[in-house]
Structure 1
Amino acid sequence: MPELPEVESVARALAPALARRRFGEVRVLSPSAVSRSPESLHRLSGRAIERIGRRAKYLIVVLSGDWSLAIHLRMTGWLGIREGLAPPEDLKHVRVLMELVGSGWQPPGWLVFRDIRRFGRLWCGPRNRIVALPEMSRLGPEPLEISESDFVARLRERRGRLKSLLLNQRFLAGLGNIYVDEVLHDAGLHPLREASRLSVSSAKRLHASIRDVLRRAIRAGGTTRRDYFRPDGSPGWFKRALKAYGRENELCRSCGVGIVRRIVVGQRGTWFCPKCQRL
């Protein structure tokens, strides 16, 4: 599932192309993709796109009239633009088509939501109804925005293993399996460490690692292992920089001595170096 760096990369890639455009015709080819949307996606027609951003793992398109469009890519969702007056001819796995009407020099086009496994979702409506959705209202603070002091305080108040806690979207929103493993490796912390027992210096180091790993992953366009691709179809290149995730039985790239191990924590595969990340 795309995590914070992948979703941020998609938002940044689409932002210039969506600027100063408005939605025209909307075609919902798979009703399940828009289930539980506060309003029909057809009501997007005529609304101007003010900007596109991100909240946790969700894309947020801010629209005129105090409306928003929220998109969750889930496992295999892809969002991109196909230029041209006519909609794309290849509709394989396409769930939603949204016409883009340009202004001035901008050509017409279509915002395409494609999803092989049909897990992705789109919701639209007044902004206050979007932020009130259960998926959105329960999210914790943003990893790149929370201060060091607030992070340390929240961490020391919570019981549980570091791996499970960092995956908890109510604790911190946007991290997933790949980046939790990479962050813990970068900070030299074992995934089974008890969060509330971390020293202040270790908690500060973890906060710094979260920010550093996420920023580097965003610059690389995210991590493509199988299903994630950017709007132009190119992969994210952070896979080349992975030091823990998916590297079972390989030599540790940090210490050059340890062999990366895989364990299961909270039903999630977890990779770490027993030399760098002692329990």
Structure 2
Amino acid sequence: MHGDAYDLMEKLEPESIDLLITSPPYWGLRSYGQEHNEEILKEWLAEDESRVQTDVPPYEWYRAHGGVLGLEPLPEWFVAHLVEILQRGAAALKAEGSMWINIGDTYFARWSSIRHDGRQGLGDNPRSRRRTPMGGFRQEKQLLLIPARFAIAMQDQRWIVRNDLIWHKPNVPPRPEKDRLRLGHEHFFHFVKRPKEGRPKYYYDMSKVEPGALDVVKTMARSGSDGHSATFPTDLITPRILSSCPPGGTVLDPFCGTGRALSVAAANGRRGIGFELHEPFHQAATANVAKVVKATAPPQQRTTTKRKKKTEE
């Protein structure tokens, strides 16, 4: 479905999703071709003189004033908006369902570089610079610990963190910095719902995870597809889908990009629903998933489809 996850989440049927798995936009790295209002912080503060920078506007206000998820002027805003959007899908997730969220970290710089496309620091893709207010934990060269802040914010909304899976990326490119180690991992959080009483009970097939069942998974970062530079590696998400969604169940990716998670779901006997705001990615996802569905359809069904097409011609 083409549109903003904030709107589309509420259109889902209650208790209809077995697994929500996604990699939302990270804070302050790339624009994905979206236009963003760089004066939005000033506009927010000007509306009420009692406000301070860290007072977070509702996502609906932020979007209406030209804001884009991932390009918030402050990381505090980003964390709050991401949690707000995911909360709108909470009712659609089954009581025994799971949520897997992949999120990376960011170093703070007063003058940050925003890639229009492509991974941060790679290639010669166009980029713009913007000034980000300093204060509190927002200090030069600071690793912002955004994944941890996000996970804690989710806990505050009654979600249970079952795993902080570390995605180890051994092929990260060289960096120019000489005073820190290269950032070679991302976080993949497994959340389940907190029951009204007792311990959480949720679907989980341990036989489908990686051998050894450790919370560190080593897999190469892959090149993107269809103009998207940050697609999920198939070998990273397949065990998540097979272990956390029962056969025939429904997988939701609210930031589906070019449809990698949906394609994996379809190839493994699961249904898939995807939301994507950027129209070129939406078109690519639709085409990619259609190819997988066609390739995995039973032979009799494929023959019937071909005969029907010839008859129509």
Q: More relative contact order in 1 or in 2 (CA 8 Å, sep 6+)?
A: 2
> Please, what TM-score do these two structures have when normalized by structure 2?
0.27
Relative to its length, the structure with more strand (as a share) is: 1
> Please, what TM-score do these two structures have when normalized by structure 1?
0.29
